[in-house]
Structure 1
């Protein structure tokens, strides 16, 4: 952690809604005049698309777990070096993974490849990470120890699978069977490396549908925000003004002493109310240290 150069992480599995959360942070940063250096989790995958397919095939032949969720598919040591560098100096390096033709064209590269490494802005107030592994802890890396504000975004597992099935089938042309195989292949890494992060996070936002998702593999539609509730859990509820939140968010209620439940359609306003004062507090501490 660094008082002069704070780091905020949003971590969650693929399709969990971390991109939506990133948009909420962007709005807060813009409104409050905070300049954030941004790094994306995909930039720290170990392999490009072609190499990844070859590694997956090799792992299947050898009957061993391998996926983007685990250590063999990522360069977590490099990500930790960048977190540490920003904490010391307020600068680090990152790159971009080019997902499609639109992203790849300006660089003159093929989709599924990485750009070169480049420095973040020298005048950033903080570092913002969004991706799969912002709070990973293993025998060799500890990303969570570098982070000042850790946010987890995780739908219940059946909803996560429904979102992945619909995205991969409709946007990427995969079959249900192919997506199911991917889910199964990732399960070992999901259990051992993704789930444990949510015990490290300061706040978790978990979307819970209130419609039947018993069999995600035959679900025709993704439950909408209006068909969901969001469970918000605080690791340390001290200092959280729950009466204020309950008064500001209609139909919200507390389910435990450290947990508030809000209608799914009001998750963004809940995030604005909860996270804005936390970000401003980080900026106050930073200014005090710099002065």
Structure 2
């Protein structure tokens, strides 16, 4: 953790909605004139798409049927640790970009599934923002959770997470339901071992819970809408959180536990704005005092 060069990590599984949460952070940063440097977890995959397919086939042939992007071995976690460490000490580091779709292909001039070259983060940023799979991960040799000053978990209930992943992968990547099911099964051991434990390290978790039937996510025709969901917001340390104010500002919200607020799903944006803006400004004030 660093007063002069703070780090925010937003972590969540594939299909959890971390990209949408990043958009909300973007709004806060623009409104509060915070110059954030961004890194995405996909940039720290060890293999591009073609190489990953080959590696997975090799692992499967050798009897390892659980190798996936969730696996530490499939990611450059040491490099990510070094970026967190360097940024915390000096406000510098490097990243690259993974090409996801046609829009990014046009922007970067590279095929889908490839990486851009490594480049330094822009100079004199106010903070570093990470969004991806492993922002708070702990392994036998790596402890990334010790670096961020603010750790946010984005955690839909598991069936909703699967529904979102199935619909995304089928619509944008052309995968069949069976192919997505195979991916989910392959990832499950590392999901349990490396993804879930991160949400015990986070400062705040935002968990979307559908209020419609999602019993069989593999036949769901639609993703539950925000209006068909509730948001459970859990604070690891509720000390200093003005719960009466939040309840008064977020319509139809209530407290389910001493450290948890439940709000309508359509109020996620306003809830995050109200909760996160003061925390970001606190980081900026601490940075100013340390400079």
Q: Match for residue 214 of structure 1? A: 215
Residues 115-165 of structure 1: CA deviation (Å, up to 9, x unaligned): 111111111000000011100111111111011000000100000011111
Gaps of 5+ in 1: none
Q: How far has the Cα of 1:201 moved from its partner?
A: 0.2
Equivalent residue runs for 1:236-275 within 5 Å = 236-275=237-276
Name the CA distance, whole Å, in 1 between partners of 2:103 and 2:20.
Answer: 20
Q: How far has the Cα of 1:108 moved from its partner?
A: 3.3
Q: How far has the Cα of 1:99 moved from its partner?
A: 1.6
Q: Match for residue 22 of structure 2? A: 22
Q: Does 1:41 align with 2:41?
A: yes
Q: Match for residue 8 of structure 1? A: 8
Q: Match for residue 55 of structure 2? A: 55
Equivalent residue runs for 1:1-291 within 5 Å = 1-64=1-64, 65-290=66-291
Deviates more, 1:34-43 or 1:107-116: 107-116
The alignment's C-alpha RMSD in Å is 0.9
Name the CA distance, whole Å, in 1 between partners of 2:162 and 2:278.
Answer: 33
Residues 85-123 of structure 1: CA deviation (Å, up to 9, x unaligned): 000101110000112333133433222111111111111
* SS of match in other structure, 1:171: helix
* SS of match in other structure, 2:9: strand
Cα 1:181–1:34 change in 2 (3 A) is same
* SS of match in other structure, 1:206: strand
Name the CA distance, whole Å, in 2 between partners of 1:169 and 1:38.
Answer: 28
* SS of match in other structure, 1:161: helix
Residues 250-290 of structure 1: CA deviation (Å, up to 9, x unaligned): 11000000000000000110000000000000000000010
Name the CA distance, whole Å, in 1 between partners of 2:124 and 2:137.
Answer: 27
Name the CA distance, whole Å, in 2 between partners of 1:107 and 1:266.
Answer: 35
* SS of match in other structure, 2:261: strand
* SS of match in other structure, 1:114: coil
* SS of match in other structure, 1:204: strand
Residues 202-238 of structure 1: CA deviation (Å, up to 9, x unaligned): 0000000000001101111110000000000000000
* SS of match in other structure, 2:21: helix
* SS of match in other structure, 2:173: coil
Q: How far has the Cα of 1:15 moved from its partner?
A: 1.1
Name the CA distance, whole Å, in 1 between partners of 2:212 and 2:220.
Answer: 11
Name the CA distance, whole Å, in 2 between partners of 1:264 and 1:205.
Answer: 10
TM-score (norm 2): 0.98
TM-score (norm 1): 0.98
Name the CA distance, whole Å, in 2 between partners of 1:154 and 1:109.
Answer: 32
Q: How far has the Cα of 1:84 moved from its partner?
A: 0.2
